[in-house]
């Protein structure tokens, strides 16, 4: 897939560091762009996906102080793939610790997929620290969303070939609950089975994330460390229902953030996080800018989605 012309040029970070956030976890962060610029934090997906140099490029480096954070257990954060003391609420706390550590009063918060979940929950917990929200591929970690993609939901009807590979490692007598079956294996002691299941789980998501299947994206799922980190942390969160008390936690708390400027960007043909979730969020939050991207699936790297995300970041430069 060609690179979007909307992206800003490649840049290097001017600062990288580690912040100890608990007795167990140390998170990695980096800063790029303008050191005196307007702060924006990029929250990656998964959970467990980690950040990359590409994630700097949605933001004007002359205007923004661009902060990327590897969440607990992901990317360069340590210990790698650790599930202990790894919850949504711990991540919200980490974001606040990083904001304080960097001496930032308020920032723009940018997140897609699981990053949209974390962005929304962080904003709901700390609305006075958020200048604006840029959200993509809305995911609220509801049971209906998990069933759609990881159980016998709608996604299997669109990608039946990829689905067959996803279910292959799981015995037929456990196929009534794939998240539970995968969780048992991804947290088990059989190292070979753990890695095989991690690659199958990760390949399913990478195979379905774009409107047109991307071999480069799928190849990423064959990398041992990345696949194991991604699958273990993601399945851990889904098995525990995001550590929310209610299934509709995000929607139930939207009133706390309706005053915050926000843009919601949703691929019309997103199979991973189906458009109905973004639409339901839009209906209870009409003040937020909302746009369906007609020729996109789930990935932020699809041309139409990338262009709209960059436009949103440009629009908030004047805040």
Q: How far apart are CA 110 and CA 128, in angstroms?
A: 16
**DSSP of 144-168, one letter per residue?**
HHHHHHHSSSTHHHH-HHHHHHHHT
- Report whether pLDDT(2) > 90: no
Identify whether 164 is a catalytic site residue.
no
Number of helices and strands in the chain (H, E): 12, 8
pLDDT for 217: 87
Identify whether 270 is a catalytic site residue.
yes
Give per-residue pLDDT as tens, 8-39: 999 999 999 999 999 999 999 999 999 999 99
CATH superfamily of 13-142+243-318: Alpha/Beta hydrolase fold, catalytic domain (3.40.50.1820)
Name the active-site residue from 25, 209, 270, 296: 270
Least confident segment among 128-142, 207-221, 282-296 = 207-221
The residues, ordered by sequence, that sit 6+ positions from 201 with a Cβ below 8 Å of its Cβ are 166, 182, 186, 227, 230, 231, 234, 235
Instruction: Give the C-alpha distances (Å, rounded to integers) separating 284 from 134, 144, 300.
Output: 17, 18, 24
Identify whether 202 is a catalytic site residue.
no
Q: How far apart are CA 199 and CA 189, in angstroms?
A: 16
Name the active-site residue from 28, 44, 183, 298: 298
Domain ranges of the chain: 13-142+243-318, 144-242
Would you say the C-alpha torsion 45, 13, 308, 221 has a positive or negative sign? negative
Give per-residue pLDDT as tens, 70-123: 999 999 999 999 999 999 999 999 999 999 999 999 999 999 999 999 999 999
What average pLDDT does the structure give for the chain?
97
pTM: 0.97
Q: How far apart are CA 229 and CA 189, in angstroms?
A: 15
Name the active-site residue from 113, 202, 277, 296: 113
Sheet holding 38-43, edge to edge: 13-20, 26-33, 64-70, 38-43, 107-112, 130-136, 262-267, 289-293
Instruction: Give the C-alpha distances (Å, rounded to integers) separating 89 from 34, 111, 140, 237.
Output: 30, 16, 14, 11
């Amino acid at each position: 897939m060609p690179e979007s012309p909307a992206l800003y040029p490649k840049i290097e970070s001017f600062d990288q560091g580690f912040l100890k956030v608990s007795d167990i976890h140390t998170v990695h962060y980096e800063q790029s762009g303008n050191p005196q610029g307007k702060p924006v934090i990029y929250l990656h997906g998964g959970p467990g996906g980690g950040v990359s140099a590409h994630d700097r490029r949605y933001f004007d480096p002359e205007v923004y102080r661009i902060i990327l954070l590897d969440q607990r257990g992901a990317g360069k954060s340590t210990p790698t793939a650790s599930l202990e003391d790894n919850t949504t609420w711990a991540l919200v706390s980490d974001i606040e610790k990083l904001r304080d550590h960097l001496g930032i009063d308020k920032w723009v918060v940018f997140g897609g997929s699981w990053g949209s979940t974390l962005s929304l929950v962080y904003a709901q917990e700390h609305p006075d620290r958020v200048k604006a929200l840029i959200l993509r591929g809305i995911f609220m970690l509801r049971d209906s969303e998990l069933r759609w993609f990881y159980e016998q939901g709608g996604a299997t009807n669109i990608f039946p070939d990829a689905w067959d590979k996803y279910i292959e490692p799981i015995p037929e007598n456990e196929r009534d609950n794939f998240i539970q079956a995968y969780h048992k294996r991804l947290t088990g002691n059989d190292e070979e089975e753990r890695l095989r299941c991690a690659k199958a789980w990760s390949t399913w998501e990478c195979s379905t994330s774009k409107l047109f299947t991307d071999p480069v994206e799928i190849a990423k799922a064959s990398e041992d460390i990345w696949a194991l980190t991604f699958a273990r942390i993601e399945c851990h969160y889904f098995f525990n229902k995001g550590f929310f008390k209610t299934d509709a936690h995000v929607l139930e708390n939207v009133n706390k953030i309706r005053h915050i400027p926000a843009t919601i960007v949703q691929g019309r043909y997103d199979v991973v996080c189906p458009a109905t979730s973004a639409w339901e969020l839009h209906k209870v939050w009409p003040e937020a800018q909302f746009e369906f991207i007609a020729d996109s699936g789930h990935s932020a790297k699809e041309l139409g989605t990338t262009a709209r995300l960059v436009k949103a970041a440009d629009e908030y430069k004047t805040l």
